Structure 1
Amino acid sequence: MTTVSGHGPWPGDERDVLEAQQVVLGDLSEVPTGVDALPFLVQLPERGPGADAIGRSAALLTGMPVELGPHGWKLTDRAGMDERRADTFRREDLGALAIAAYGYEGRLTVEVTGPWTLAAELWSLRGDRVLGDAGARHDLALALAEGVRRLVAEVREQVPGAELVVQLAEPLLGQVHAGVLPTFSGYSRLRAVRGPEIVEGLEPVLAAVRDVGARSVVHLGATWVGVPPVALAGADALGLDVAALGPGGWNERAWELVARAVERGMGLWAGLPPVRVSQCAGPALGELVSLVGEPWRRVGLPAADLDAVTLLAAPRQRLGSVDDHRAEIGNLGRVAEALAERATA
């Protein structure tokens, strides 16, 4: 059954956490018949440092304390106020989830920044990116794996009936692999990380997800070159923002890699942009349907397998309003309904 879900970021401040979680659960319960809904733990980054994607994920690192520095989050000798703030935000989010999802049974998803993007964004004690230190990034992957174990346990404590899906956001994996990220000075670039090393960095986190009985998705954004390492590392599904792959969502090489992954049993989580709205014709939902359905057909994947695709809104630079996000969920439900019809045609 074609599924609708989300990454997690949602507009609002600390007063809006419970309402936001209730809205998500309520709106997803109203998707069309024949479409599955996968609720997600909301994240409200507008609350400030510690509620942002990097801060909340860095605070999960077991045995690697972090703090906020002049250039962003960095490793430190001991946990301080910044990390405690991030922990407080996570507890608030989980508390709101416990209330909003009381009695819920079924799949539930939570997103965490993946080890490679986290290593690229975090600064070391020496002042450069953790990514530049092979030993430090190895330790980071292990620390994140333990943090993910703890997070899954915390979510299950609040929602005992949840079947967890952990989403690992890796939007910088392509830049890590290409060796284009600047050093602290900006005068040089960090060494490119080879494919086998990418696999090794992902494996501990994905293994931790499996060990605690959860499922895993690795989101690559538009970085389709990361598909083979993600598949080799053992992810259950891969995420791609399909509109960014090329005109009409078509990129032959990218979709060939997707097809191989799907044929191996991996799922596809397709990120879709906001629908284009015309004053005369209304939402152009057919364009979003085609972004997934047409490349799927052109690459030779069976139409029936569209039934296993998960749709979610691609990350946006600005959060927008609550109404924007609610409209996206509604539109994704209708797009999923159209894809489900293609799967049974």
Structure 2
Amino acid sequence: MTGVVGPGLWPGEDILPAQLEIFEDLSQSPTGVTAAPFLAELPERAAWATRIGRTLAVLEEVPYELGPHGWKLADRGGRDRERAQSLLTQDLEAFAIAGTGFDGPITIDLTGPWTLAAQLYLARGDRALTDFGAVGDLALSLAQGTSGLVANLHSQLPGAHITIHLHEHLIGQIAAGVLPTFSGYSRIPAVPGPTLVQHLKPLVETIKSSSARVAVNVGDAWVGIAPVVHSEADALVMDFGRSDSWNERGWELIARVVERGTHLWLGLPAPQVSQCSGPNLKNLADTLLVPWHRMGLEPSRLADTVITQSAVAARDLYHQGSTAARGSIATLKRVAEHIAERAAQ
């Protein structure tokens, strides 16, 4: 069935009420649509509660701390690591309480190894991305930690079907070699596709071996499609713009992805809203349906797609408060229902 996944990002500072809202909104869905509650990310609490802070808390045996310029590796674990791990524990407890008795799909958002290495600094140096040995260590630690996270979730929510949603939104910049060094006077060399796969694929394999699915989010970077497919992730996640934007070469790649059996998740833009008729659901659905028709893809394959929000739309809704965030989930479910109807034709 056509799916709906929330954005991960959520307004507020109290995790349990947020999770109760999310399960209430995503435990039920229209006919032909499957909705997946998610572990909320509440950045208002502090840097330790952001997605990168949560991902660092998942790592096994890697010390880190907050520095003047953001997160960095450390010689030993300290207070920042303890705070990040404490918040993750609280979040998982709230998630289990809100999802008591739940039977269905859930998603957990984490930062992928390449984007993590691009945002994390070495203890005494530049971005971790400049040291492929450090990248490998991070990927291995993330694989081990995520496997433990999945086992924890299976024990607390035995009826849940888990998908780990890995965010690799910097993969395009990493592949293009445009990320600046710490000094800003030069650029970090481009990372070739096979090397991207080298550290992504073992993580995907480990997560899948722990009885979870893997979706990899490349933002709007078409260049990220091939590494995700070669990593054998279950789903490719991409952010899409307006329905009238068209990238023929990109959609040829997506068509091949769909035809080989990799699922497609679409991050939709914010809807156009009319005071009289509300959000323009047709325009949102056409973001997928128009290029799908142009590429000659079978309508029945639409049943394997998942609808979510683009990173830009998620940030905008986050700043508008929980009412707007919950309204967006209702909109996504209605768009998914329209797509599911097309899939059944």
Provide the TM-score with structure 1 as the length reference. 0.96
Report the Cα distance in structure 1 between the residues aligned to 2:154 and 2:181, rounded to whole angstroms. Answer: 40
2:197 and 2:231 in contact (8 A); partners too: yes
Match of 2:307 in 1: 311
Summarize deviations over 1:23-80 as a string: whole Å, max 9, x none. 1111113322221111111111111011011111122221211100001000001111
Gaps of 5+ in 1: none
Gaps of 5+ in 2: none
Report the Cα distance in structure 2 between the residues aligned to 1:239 and 1:340, rounded to whole angstroms. Answer: 18
Residue 9 (structure 2) pairs with residue 9 (structure 1): yes
Match of 1:338 in 2: 338
Match of 1:302 in 2: 298
Residue 273 of structure 1, CA deviation: 1.6
Summarize deviations over 1:265-297 as a string: whole Å, max 9, x none. 100010112211112332111110100111111
1:20 and 1:42 in contact (8 A); partners too: yes
Report the Cα distance in structure 2 between the residues aligned to 1:249 and 1:288, rounded to whole angstroms. Answer: 12
Residue 47 (structure 2) pairs with residue 72 (structure 1): no
Q: 1:142-291 to 2 correspondence within 5 Å?
A: 142-243=140-241, 248-291=244-287
Report the Cα distance in structure 2 between the residues aligned to 1:18 and 1:194, rounded to whole angstroms. Answer: 42
Structure 1 counterpart SS, 2:303 = helix
| Percent of aligned positions that are identical | 50
Residue 247 of structure 1, CA deviation: 6.0
- Structure 1 counterpart of 2:218, one-letter code: L
- Structure 2 counterpart of 1:337, one-letter code: E
Match of 1:88 in 2: 86
1:249 and 1:295 in contact (8 A); partners too: no
Summarize deviations over 1:109-145 as a string: whole Å, max 9, x none. 1011000000000000122000001111111111111
Summarize deviations over 1:160-204 as a string: whole Å, max 9, x none. 221111110000000000000000110000010000001101012
1:7 and 1:110 in contact (8 A); partners too: no
1:97 and 1:158 in contact (8 A); partners too: no
Runs of 4+ in 1 over 4 A off after TM superposition: none
Residue 127 (structure 2) pairs with residue 129 (structure 1): yes
1:59 and 1:66 in contact (8 A); partners too: no
Report the Cα distance in structure 2 between the residues aligned to 1:332 and 1:31, rounded to whole angstroms. Answer: 10
- Structure 1 counterpart of 2:4, one-letter code: V
Residue 325 of structure 1, CA deviation: 0.8
1:273 and 1:314 in contact (8 A); partners too: yes
Q: 1:95 to 1:9 in 2, by over 3 A?
A: same
Match of 2:327 in 1: 327
Structure 2 counterpart SS, 1:3 = strand
Report the Cα distance in structure 1 between the residues aligned to 2:160 and 2:306, rounded to whole angstroms. Answer: 18
1:272 and 1:312 in contact (8 A); partners too: yes
- Structure 2 counterpart of 1:94, one-letter code: L
Structure 2 counterpart SS, 1:271 = strand
